[in-house]
Amino acid sequence: MALTQVQSGMLGADSQNYGFKNRIINGAMMIDQRNAGASVTPSSDAYTLDRWTTWTYAASKFSVQQNAGSVTPPTGFVNYLGITSTSAYSVPTGEGFAMMQKIEGYNMADLGWGAVGASSVTLSFWVRSSLTGTFGGALNNSAQTRSYPFSYAINSANTWEYKTVTIAGDTTGTWLTTNGAGILLKFGLGVGATLSGTAGTWAGANYASATGAVSVIGTNAATFYITGVQLEKGSTATSFDYRPYGTELALCQRYLPCFRYDTGSTILPSQFGFNAGVNNGRGAIMFPVQTRTQPNGFTISSAAHFSAYDNNGGVLTGASTGFVSAGQLAACIDFNVSSGGSTNRSFTIGITNSAGYIYFNGCEL
């Protein structure tokens, strides 16, 4: 299918790098630390691709996958976030479903929202769906007591289309400007009447979409693909702020320190000293960047995917792990083995299975 360009001269990416004008992180859908491209069927508040979470009232109504369906992305992009409906669900009036990004307050403080002189912003993105019609979304504050429903049209099925929405800054309400959620950006996937409002105006209510918008999850196997999402200060959409991959990854790691198996093995940035128990170790895993807040636990693929190596080169067996505590730069964990250890020796941890990973929870918004 040919690309449809809705607004002349606004292709999604070009060779110019504008820096950090885009308040969205991972808008080009490049980073997928948790799932590494695998399909997931999320529950509410579950993160999918990095920085993109779900807002749902019922589980298992849609799946999410990086590059779902393997279609060609719009020019200038390599990846997209793909949503597929898993049933034909009739959304009750008081339920809602959306894909969402929570923008940290530090990253929108200069907009001056909640006071006279609040700056306008412009949302732009590329979208493709098997459905056509008027779709919706919304901007909310963290308390979801202020909402700006917006709408946009998808004119041709299974065709990438470029959309822009300009939003006047909100001069009332409370908008966080620290490390909490400053702005919630939602793309509606099916939102009931009581959670939908008039498009194009601010309201003192919890709206997640525009009244009458298409419900993606209302049609079995319907698709909704999106990429090139940008929210920038001002009333004009400009070319996509395509930051270097390493920069975008570091921005994501502020909210998710994650380590995955690399070719051969991945030696974690850690050094452990054995405790009095021969096979018990404790030490710190250093995060790649300072996190937004302190993690409160971690998730591992399987203890069997990890091995410990002592300072004499020996490999310890029967690994298991336990979370102890964490700061914003490192986490302290226990690493226990069934045999092979020696008192007063140091050791390091390696991920030795191609399916192996460890990531630290609780830094997300």
Would you say the pTM of this structure is higher than 0.75? yes
Report the side by side order of strands in the sheet with 258-260. Answer: 258-260, 357-361, 297-300
Is residue 175 a part of any domain in this protein?
yes
Bridge-based pairing state of the strands 121-129 and 161-167: antiparallel
- At residue 11, does pLDDT exceed 50? no
Res 249 pLDDT > 70: yes
74 and 178 part of one domain: yes
Confidence of residue 2 (pLDDT cuts 50, 70, 90): very low
CATH assignment at residue 71: 2.60.120
Residue 40 gets which letter from DSSP?
B
| Residue 8 burial (10 A CB sphere; 0-12, 13-18, 19+) | exposed
| pLDDT value for 238 | 97
In angstroms, what is the C-alpha Rg of the chain? 22
Q: Does 147 lie in the same domain as 102?
A: yes
Concatenated DSSP letters for 281-349? Answer: EEEEEEPSS--SS---EEEES-GGGEEEEETTSPEEBS-EEEEEEE-SSEEEEEEE-SB---TT-EEEE
Task: Report if residue 70 sits inside a domain.
Answer: yes
**Does the structure show a pLDDT above 80 at 311?**
no
> Which residue has 């990253």 as its token pair?
107
Share of the chain above pLDDT 90, in %: 74
Q: What local confidence, expressed as pLDDT, does residue 3 receive?
A: 39
Domain count, the chain: 2
Average pLDDT over residues 234-251: 96
The answer to the question of residue 202 being in a domain is yes
In a domain, 77, yes or no: yes
Q: Does one domain contain both 243 and 276? A: no
Task: Report pLDDT digits (tens) over 29-53.
Answer: 999 999 999 999 998 889 999 999 9
- Residues 105, 195 share a domain: yes
* Residue 116 within any structural domain of the chain: yes
How crowded is residue 221: how many other Cβ atoms within 10 Å of its Cβ?
Answer: 10
Within-domain flag for 355: yes
Segment among 127-131, 192-196, 238-242, 324-328 with least mean pLDDT: 324-328
- Do 89 and 123 fall within a single domain? yes
Q: Which of 223, 253, 283 is where one domain is finished?
A: 253
Is 322 in the same domain as 194?
no
The pLDDT of residue 315 is above 90: no
- Of 9-23, 280-294, 317-331, least confident by mean pLDDT is 9-23
Instruction: Identify the pLDDT of residue 303.
Output: 81
Per-residue pLDDT tens digits for 100-150: 999 999 999 999 999 999 999 999 999 999 999 999 999 999 999 999 999
- Judge if 126 and 161 occupy the same domain: yes
pLDDT band at 184 (very low <50, low <70, confident <90, very high): very high
Q: Does residue 208 share a domain with residue 346?
A: no
pLDDT value of position 275: 55
pLDDT (mean) for 208-221: 98
CATH number at residue 303: 2.60.40
- Which of 7-21, 254-268, 298-312 shows the lowest mean pLDDT across its residues? 7-21
Sorting pLDDT into bands at 50, 70 and 90, what band is 352? confident
pLDDT at residue 69 tops 90 = yes
- Pick the closest to residue 23 from 113, 114, 144, 130 (CA basis): 113
Report the DSSP pairing between strands 346-351 and 196-197: unpaired
* 266 and 302, same domain (yes or no): yes
pLDDT for 230: 98
My answer on whether 89 and 185 are in the same domain is: yes
Residue 245 lies in a domain: yes
AA identity, residue 76: G
Report pLDDT for 305: 86
Report DSSP state, residue 248.
Answer: H
Residue 16 has pLDDT above 50, yes or no: no
Domain boundary among 203, 236, 253: 253
Asked which of 12-26, 76-90, 182-196 is least confident by mean pLDDT, the reply is: 12-26
Kindly report the average pLDDT of the chain as a whole number.
89
Among 238, 253, 268, residue at a domain's last position? 253
Residue 214 and residue 135 in one domain: yes
Residues 211 and 241 in one domain: yes
In a domain, 236, yes or no: yes
Range of the domain at 295: 258-361
Averaged pLDDT, 281-297: 90
The pLDDT confidence band at residue 321, using thresholds 50, 70 and 90, is confident
Q: Please report, to the nearest 10 degrees, the dihedral formed by the alpha carbons of residues 18, 124, 258, 302 taken in order.
A: -160
The per-residue pLDDT for 323 is 85
